[in-house]
Amino acid sequence: MTKRLLFSLVVVLPILFADAEIKPVSPVGRYVVAVESDTARDANWMRAVSALRTKYRATVLTYPAANPESLLPGLRRAAPRYVCFVAKPERAGRALVVAAAQLLRRIDDDPYGDALWGIVTGYDASDALRLVSQAKPLVIQSIATSMGGPHCLDDWKSGFASNESNRNDFWSKVSDSAPVAAQRVEPDPAQALANAFRKIPVDYWATSGHASERNWQIIYNQNAGSLVHQNGNLFFASSNGKRYPLVSRNPKLYLAAGNCLIGNIDRKDCMATGWIHSGGVAQMLGYTVPTFYGFMGWGTKSFFETGRYSAAEAFFLNNQILLWALGDSNAGLRDLKIDPKGNFDIKAFLQNLDVKPRGQDEVGLVWDRDTVAFYGDPAWRVTYPERRRDIEISQEKNEITLRFLREVGFPDKGRRKDYRPVALLFDTPPPPGAVVVDAATAKPVEGAVVTELFALIPITGQHPKGETLRFVLSLDSSFGFSRRATAGAEYAEKVSKTGIFRPQTRTLR
C-alpha cells in the first residue's frame, strides 16, 4: 500500500489540557483527533479534544468548516489506526458521517478502510468530554432490548426487555440471583421501560422498529407508546397521554440496529443527542437514513454478539465486509464517490449514482455503505463477555489459528446479506503482498483479503465445537506476491526474508 508523503494545509493545534484524571493509555496504536476550525475556537469543546490528546498522545488536526476532505494529506502522514472526529451537534450529522466513511478509505491505495473511527459529540460540550473520559473497558453484563422474549435475560446478570410485536409483554431481572420476572403491562411498555432504566443499570441497549430524528416507536407499527426528546432529555410517552422521563446515567452501548434515522443528528436537540445527554450512551450505532436492507445495522449487531470484537471493531470490520461483498458483485459501486451533502431520498439517491446497482443486494449494500454513524471514542473497548465468544482467533508470527468454542455455521457466500467471513485486526501491519494460505491444503484461500490493518478469511459450512483451522500469511511469489514501494520498504524486505511480521503472541478479539 503506497503511502503518499504530501504537504498539507491542515493545522496542528496547541492543546489546552483537560482534567488531571485523564491519563495516557498505552499502548493504543496511532490516534488522530479531527476537529473543525470553528469548534477548535471553542474552549469548552476543546476540553474533549485535550482529553483525547492526553489519553492517547494523539495528533490533533483541524479542518475548515464542512470540509473534512482537507484532512487527507495530514492523515496520510500520520497513518492512524484510530480517527475520532470531535464535532458540535450542528456539524455531526449525515454529511460528516458520509464524508468520514469515504475519506478514511483514501489514506492508502486499496479500496478498504484504513482506520477505525467514531464521532464524539453531544447535546453540549460536557457530553463530549464524558464520552472521551471513559477510563476502563466495558464488558457487557446487563442488557436491555426492544426485541425481547421469555428467555432473553436468562444468561445475563440483570436487564429488561419489551417485545416490539406485543404491547403488553415485559420482562425484567434485577440481579444475577433473581429470576426473570414476566409481567403484563398496560396500556403499553412506556412506564415499565422508564422504571426499568431508572432501577436497573444496563450496559447494552438494542432496538428495532420505526424511528426518526424525533422519536422511537416502542411497538412496531402501533400507537403503543414512544420515546421522544426535549432539550437534550428523553421521555417515554404512553398512549394514555402520560410522560415518564428516561433517567439512566451509567455508561452504555446503544445499537439501534433496525431503526430508521435515529442516528442522524439533524440539529442540536434530537434523539441521538438525547441518548448521549440523558441516557448515559457512551457509544452508539445508528442509521442516518431510512433502513430497509440492514447490512450495517443488523450485521454489526450480529458481529458484535459473536464476542470476537469490540463494538467499534465490529462496526469497522462489518463495513469492510460490506465493501468486500460489494466489490465482488460490482466494484464500480464499491469505489463510487457519493456526495455527502446530496439527496438521500432513496429514489433520488439511486438516480444520481453514476454506476447503477443491479438487484436488491447491490441497492442495499451501496445504500448502507456510508450512511451509518458510530458515535463515541473508537478506541474505547466495549465487548461481550468471553463466555459468549464463538471462535477464538489467535496469531503467532505468521500463523493464524481459529478454534471453534461452540458449533458455528457459515451460510453460502452467495448470500451477501447474511454471509460474514472471519475477520481479524493486526497489531503490526503485514508486509505488502501477503496472502492467506490454508495450512491444510497449502493453497491460497479464495476471496481472502489482507490489508495493513485487517484480514478477511472466507469460511463456509458447519464447524463443530473444538475444531481447529490453521492459516499462514505467506509472501511466496507463486501466490502473486509483488513488492510495492512503501514508507516501510526496509521492514517489508526484512519480513519477506523471515516470514515473521509480529514478534508477540496474543489472542485476537
- Set of cell numbers at residue 506: 496474543
Using one digit for the tens of pLDDT, what is the confidence trace for 76-126? 999 999 999 999 999 999 999 999 999 999 999 999 999 999 999 999 999
- Set of cell numbers at residue 445: 484461500
pLDDT at 58: 95
Residue 31 · residue 80 · CB < 8 Å: yes
Query: CATH 3.40.50: which residues of the chain?
Result: 11-132
For the stretch 151-160, contacts whose Cβ atoms lie closer than 8 Å and that sit 24 or more positions apart, written own/partner, are 151/180, 153/180, 154/180, 155/388, 158/200, 158/202, 159/200, 159/202, 160/192, 160/193, 160/196, 160/200, 160/202
* Strand residues in 249-371 grouped as ranges (E): 252-259, 281-287
With a cut of 90, say whether residue 449 has pLDDT above it: yes
Using one digit for the tens of pLDDT, what is the confidence trace for 131-170? 999 989 999 999 999 999 999 999 999 999 999 999 999 9
In whole angstroms, what is the distance from residue 71 CA to residue 36 CA? 10
CA nearest to 264, candidates 235, 243, 290? 290
pLDDT at 412: 78
Using one digit for the tens of pLDDT, what is the confidence trace for 165-201? 999 999 999 999 999 999 999 999 999 999 999 999 9
φ/ψ of residue 79, rounded to 5: 45, 60
Give the containing element (helix H, strand E) for 274: helix 271-278
Q: Which residues pair with 252 in a beta bridge?
A: 281
With a cut of 90, say whether residue 335 has pLDDT above it: yes
In whole angstroms, what is the distance from residue 193 CA to residue 137 CA? 26
In whole angstroms, what is the distance from residue 454 CA to residue 444 CA? 17
Report which DSSP code applies to 340: T
Strands 138-139 and 382-383: parallel
φ/ψ of residue 320, rounded to 5: -70, -35
With a cut of 50, say whether residue 20 has pLDDT above it: no
pLDDT at 508: 32
In whole angstroms, what is the distance from residue 204 CA to residue 280 CA? 11
Which of 158-162, 194-198, 216-220, 473-477 shows the lowest mean pLDDT across its residues? Answer: 473-477
CATH topology for 11-132 is Rossmann fold (3.40.50)
